[in-house]
Chain A
Amino acid sequence: MDTLENSLSMLKNPAIISFIMKGTAFTLIISVVSVFLSIIFGAVLALLRNYCTTPRIRIFRWLASIYIELFRNTPLLFWIFICLVFCPSPKFVDRPMFGLSSVNNKLLFKAAVALILYTSGVIAEIVRGGLNSVARGQIEAGVSQGFHMVQVMWYIVLPQAFKAIIPTLLSQVITTIKDSSFLANVAVIELMARTKQILSAANRYNGTNAINVSDVFVLFGTAAIIYFVINFTLSLTIRGMQKRRGKMAASAQRV
């Protein structure tokens, strides 16, 4: 570990720091956008799976079930590989932007599609849990008031369901931040890939003309700390939220 000084000196290099920070920003943006879009898609899947029970529209229920089970039981990397080959990418991503080359932008688009498709399957099951927690009487009451089924869902069921699952959805953000590291397998965009990239060129930056163990510790350690700080802050927030909810539920029961 006598090369530790040299390895640490890499972290004083402004180019490396900004390279890592850009990666962190990409990780965050990719994760938040993916979760947001997955919530929309996942909610649709959950509604289809839960409420398309009449014979005429039962096919949608089956399709949604097949989708959810398929994506929940196969690895994310599998879908990333598939999207790289089969997912068409629109024209507007095929040019340099966000400081990435046009090739990387295309890869980012395809991999993000895979991440969204995969996360949707997981979120659909979370939303379904929320939907099932809404009392059956709520739907019947809504229908008896003359609401159309779509209105019942939009105004009555979904708001209650989402309120119930906010903590779970937030913890899904943590999972997605971790999952976004799978993009490192196909392109150098986010934090994980950039860390690996710096390591492979560490001999040029640390002044010893060789890649040492201390470089591994310093670089992956830095990335781990960044991931940890983001995720741990989120998970503390979630825990605080759940505690407050638990107290509220308890006091509501006492009254």
Chain B
Amino acid sequence: MSGIFSSRAWNKIWTYRATFLLGLSNTLKTAGVALVIALLLGIIFGLMATSGKKLLVMISRIYVEIIQNTPVLLQMCFLYYALAFSGHSLGIIVTGFLALGIYTGAYMAEVIRAGIESVPKGQFEAAQSQGFGYLGRMYYIILPQSIKVILPPMVNTIVNMIKNTSCLYIVGGADLLSLTYSFVTGENTGGSYAPAYIVCGTIFFLLCFPLSTLATMWETSLKQRDRKTDTAKEA
């Protein structure tokens, strides 16, 4: 722990600050693109799960169960090596986009499914009887009611995804944590463990803490509102 107060170690961090900034930008890039993929997959499979058509529900279930019950690290290795050994290597970052996107997509699908199912069935029927098409029904009637249920767990999923960008390390990583690790073990830069990890941890914390706090606050207010409506119903 001696390195924490050594100005030499901190100076080294400052000299190599570009490493950390590059790691941060790679992590954000990976998380951003993966989020887009995850949202697309989540919406598609979430809607399939609530469509009521047996085949679609089954496909969505299989996707969610397979992805949620195996480690993201395994999926990432599988994707990376399968592509590499068949001669179609896409590079580490793109593999990261895909693997994280597909993994997080399964969680998004579950969140969206739960959100849609939280809307009472009568709402669907009422909307249909008013002549709304499928998209209109979903957009005008169901989405506004389910968005409050969807957002808190969705934000938590995003926090987990940002943390999971560190999975890239196993395939040779370019993300913040991997670059920090190669920084502290590097031949020219090595040794300043404590300061480097403090910087890396602080960046992760600053990215994730606001999001997870926001999610917790939403959740609490949602629960309080539920309790109020429950007591109103009982009265």
Contact = CB atoms under 8 A, between A and B. Distances in A.
Given A78-B197, A184-B170, A227-B71, A217 B82 contact: yes
A212 B212 contact: no
A69 B69 contact: no
B212 A72 contact: yes
Contact of B70 (A76, A81, A228, A235): A228
A69 B204 contact: no
B69 A78 contact: no
A228 B205 contact: no
B3 to A, nearest CB: 10
Contacts of B65: 228, 232, 235
Contacts of B212: 69, 72-73
A228 B68 CA distance: 9
B170 A75 contact: no
Given A73-B205, A75-B164, A224 B177 contact: no
Given A81-B197, A216-B82, A181 B71 contact: yes
A220 B166 contact: no
Given A73-B208, A74-B205, A211 B73 contact: no
Contact of B73 (A184, A199, A213, A215): A184
B170 A232 contact: no
Contacts of A192: 71, 73-74, 77
A169 B81 CA distance: 34
A31 B25 CA distance: 33
Contact of A75 (B85, B184, B204): B204
Contacts of B71: 177-179, 181, 192, 227
Q: State the majority secondary structure of interface residues on B.
A: helix
A22 interface: no
Interface in B146-197: 159, 163-167, 169-170, 177, 180-181, 184, 193-194, 197
22 contacts: A69-B212, A70-B205, A73-B204, A73-B209, A73-B212, A74-B208, A81-B180, A81-B181, A178-B71, A181-B71, A184-B73, A192-B71, A192-B77, A195-B74, A196-B77, A196-B170, A213-B82, A216-B85, A220-B74, A220-B81, A227-B69, A231-B68
Given A81-B180, A195-B74, 8 more contacts: A70-B205, A77-B169, A78-B197, A174-B69, A199-B81, A213-B85, A220-B78, A220-B82
Instruction: Report, nearest first, the 10 A-B pairs whose CB atoms are least far apart.
Output: A73-B208, A231-B69, A181-B71, A75-B166, A178-B71, A75-B163, A220-B78, A77-B166, A213-B86, A181-B73
Interface of B: 1, 65-66, 68-74, 77-78, 81-82, 85-86, 159, 163-167, 169-170, 177, 180-181, 184, 193-194, 197, 200-201, 204-205, 207-209, 212
